[in-house]
């Protein structure tokens, strides 16, 4: 009995300790969340500081509490594109802001359309008479596209400018699946619908290569034109056409090479850069080393608050893969977005609706739910304008169809009009370990799809016929929306991706322009004067738990951008692991027919590693980590 009494006291004590720890954690998270907001009082005379730590996105994803507690790595930070652009617009006119400083030491990248829009805003700041300065240890394609718009570019002497251009290899899994005895049963329509090729081939098809090469050439040409216009003195061609010879000619000194070729203006570490800015616009603290009077972006935005004058123009953002069901910010969940649109139409006095799309597509059923909700705005005689960001492909194009006008950037990736379905089965793999399948059927479809014994020819025919009907439905909707015949749409569809410049020529989009152009067009069609409206953003709100953990997490993730070719190699390995996990997870977790552009991954926000990969991805990781 004495032992039981002591044991009970120990259990009660542990329970009380656990409760106390949970309470401390809860109040700690609550305190962090309440103190995580920007401080408008930090706006003072000095430079607007844009710390681009992470990636630029249309809608930052909510921090998942479970992932935050169990992950061994910090998530990559996301900076909202419209926040950057609005802060630059405010900096143009705010007399307290004397200059703009871009800290890109931890900048991972962003879509080219986003970078072009930010570059235009930087040009506007310079036109207003305020200089722009950038600092980074090393510059890549994305960071240099922004830096080219600066008044003066600084680089650490230990760094360099590493320009590579788009392209490269991607993994193909047919050989691995054959070895594992797994068959990817694929049903698709479209000569160029190459999203499923990694599961059915060991190499890229000639059709896919031709289509992607054309897009790469167009996008890369726009990048070079943007950089040449923003910084005509930069001699980048030697680094692009003969990188090895050019670097060897500089004896491997990448920073001096960048300076000699006028890619940068000054070499200096962070302290030297900070002293330079402080000498021009004031020091942060007389005793600080390398500090300067800085106004954080969040503080400047909080100082002004959101616009609220005039009539309301609704803005709904469709960012990320389109999925079924409900989800928080950063996920284009069909039920969530459709519900938000319907509620806004019922409860707000919207004079127009702008749909901002930055998505490679996804679920057909979720895309259709969103399309119907947007079409409901047109049924109420509300003008609908679509603004395509970096990606509006496949399902991302599907949801754009109700628009009165579609705006896109020349570097927008769109099209990919096609659908597919994929269901894995493991009859060969199971047979290898002695598991066989047998049974009795009452109809040709009894027990189908049979993942144990393999799919029957009847099921394959039914599934392929359903996909073909879905494709006809897709091109019929496009034909009706774009005033074309189904045959005309089919000729430019077939799953092929297009850059925005070509997409406009073939009639998939109407005009070139960004978000400002779309809002102006919406106001014009609604009969509103230029100063008599404001945007109302129709977005899912973060959950309470997400807000708490978001307050506890650092504002920007501590992920370092690659600074040399060795760091680039390590970064590519991390990117490869994330890509493989995402690809194999897609194979095992896809639910329903997909209108998705998987090859568009190279053109949008860099892949983020997730901890909830499917069983096949987990198996691959175990095989990769097994001792040899």
**8 Å CB contact between 101 and 135:** yes
**8 Å CB contact between 414 and 388:** yes
Q: Considering all CA atoms of the chain, what is the largest pairwise distance in Å, rounded to the nearest integer?
A: 88
Alpha-carbon 485 to chain mean position: 33
- Give the span between the Cα atoms of 345 and 341, in whole angstroms: 6
Catalytic residues: 193, 394
Residue 358 contacts by C-beta under 8 Å, 6 or more apart in sequence?
57, 58, 59, 111, 317, 318, 319, 320, 388, 389, 390, 391, 392, 396, 604
Residue 491 contacts by C-beta under 8 Å, 6 or more apart in sequence?
none
DSSP state of 347: H
**Does residue 311 come out as left (phi exceeding 0), alpha (psi in the -120 to 50 range) or beta?**
beta
**Does residue 139 come out as left (phi exceeding 0), alpha (psi in the -120 to 50 range) or beta?**
beta
Closest CA to 390 of 590, 219, 510, 550: 219
Centre a 10 Å sphere on the Cβ of residue 487 and count the other Cβ atoms it contains. Answer: 9
Centre a 10 Å sphere on the Cβ of residue 289 and count the other Cβ atoms it contains. Answer: 12
- Give the span between the Cα atoms of 11 and 16, in whole angstroms: 9
Closest CA to 50 of 299, 320, 343: 299
Q: Which two tokens stand for residue 52?
A: 């681009």
Burial of 623 (0-12, 13-18, 19+ CB in 10 A): exposed
- Give the span between the Cα atoms of 569 and 172, in whole angstroms: 20
For 17, 187, 329, 345, 349, the CA distances from 312, given in Å and listed in that order, are: 52, 44, 22, 11, 7
Closest CA to 314 of 358, 378, 392, 364: 378
Strands 183-188 and 420-425: antiparallel
DSSP state of 42: G
């Amino acid at each position: 009995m004495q032992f039981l009494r002591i044991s009970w006291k120990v259990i009660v004590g542990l329970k009380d300790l656990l409760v106390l720890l949970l309470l401390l954690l809860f109040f700690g998270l609550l305190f962090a969340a309440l103190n995580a907001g920007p401080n408008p009082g930090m706006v003072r005379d000095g430079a607007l500081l844009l710390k681009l730590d992470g990636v630029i996105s249309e809608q930052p994803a909510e921090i998942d509490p479970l992932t935050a507690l169990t992950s061994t790595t910090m998530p990559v930070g996301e900076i909202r594109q419209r926040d950057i652009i609005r802060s630059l617009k405010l900096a143009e006119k705010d007399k307290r802001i004397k200059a703009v400083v871009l800290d890109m030491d931890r900048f991972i990248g962003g879509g080219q359309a986003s970078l072009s829009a930010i570059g235009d805003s930087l040009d506007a700041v310079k036109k207003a008479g305020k200089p722009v300065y950038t600092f980074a240890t090393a510059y890549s394609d994305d960071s240099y596209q922004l830096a080219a718009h600066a008044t003066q570019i600084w680089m650490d002497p230990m760094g360099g400018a590493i320009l590579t251009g788009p392209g490269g290899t991607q993994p193909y899994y047919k050989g691995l699946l054959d070895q594992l005895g797994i068959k990817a049963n694929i049903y698709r329509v479209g000569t160029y619908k190459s999203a499923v090729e990694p599961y059915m081939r060991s190499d890229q098809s000639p059709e896919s290569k031709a289509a992607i090469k054309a897009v790469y050439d167009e996008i890369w040409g726009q990048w070079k034109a943007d950089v040449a216009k923003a910084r005509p003195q930069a001699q980048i061609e030697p680094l692009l056409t003969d990188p090895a010879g050019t670097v060897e000619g500089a004896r491997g000194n990448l920073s001096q090479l960048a300076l000699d070729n006028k890619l940068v203006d000054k070499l200096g570490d962070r302290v030297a850069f900070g002293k330079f800015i402080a000498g021009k616009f004031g020091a942060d603290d007389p005793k600080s080393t390398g500090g300067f009077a800085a106004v954080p972006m969040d503080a400047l935005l909080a100082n002004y608050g959101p616009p609220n004058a005039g009539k309301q123009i609704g803005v709904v953002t469709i960012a990320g893969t389109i999925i079924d069901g409900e989800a928080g910010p950063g996920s284009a969940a069909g039920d969530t977005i459709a519900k938000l649109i319907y509620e806004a139409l019922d409860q707000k006095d919207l004079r127009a609706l702008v749909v901002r799309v930055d998505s490679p597509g996804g679920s057909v059923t979720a895309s259709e739910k969103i399309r119907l909700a947007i079409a409901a705005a047109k049924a109420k005689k509300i003008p609908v304008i679509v603004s395509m960001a970096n990606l509006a492909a496949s399902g991302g194009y599907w949801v754009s169809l109700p628009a009165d006008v579609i705006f896109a950037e020349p570097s927008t990736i769109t099209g990919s009009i096609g659908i597919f379905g994929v269901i894995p089965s493991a009859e060969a793999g199971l047979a290898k370990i002695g598991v066989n399948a047998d049974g009795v059927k009452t109809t040709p479809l009894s027990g189908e799809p049979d993942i144990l014994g393999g799919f029957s020819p009847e099921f394959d025919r039914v599934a392929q016929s359903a996909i073909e009907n879905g494709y006809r439905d897709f091109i019929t909707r496009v034909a009706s929306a774009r005033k074309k015949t189904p045959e005309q749409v089919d000729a430019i569809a077939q799953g092929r991706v297009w850059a925005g410049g070509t997409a406009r020529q073939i009639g998939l989009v109407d005009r070139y322009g960004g978000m400002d152009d779309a809002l102006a067009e919406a106001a014009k069609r609604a009969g509103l004067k230029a100063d008599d409206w404001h945007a109302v953003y129709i977005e899912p709100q973060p959950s309470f738990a997400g807000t708490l953990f978001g307050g506890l997490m650092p504002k920007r993730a501590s992920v370092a951008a690659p600074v040399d070719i060795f760091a680039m190699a390590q970064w590519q390995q991390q990117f490869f692991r994330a890509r493989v996990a995402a690809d194999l997870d897609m194979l095992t977790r896809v639910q329903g027919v997909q209108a998705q552009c998987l090859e568009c991954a190279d053109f949008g926000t860099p892949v983020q590693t997730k901890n909830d990969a499917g069983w096949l991805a987990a198996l691959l990781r175990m095989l990769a980590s097994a001792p040899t």
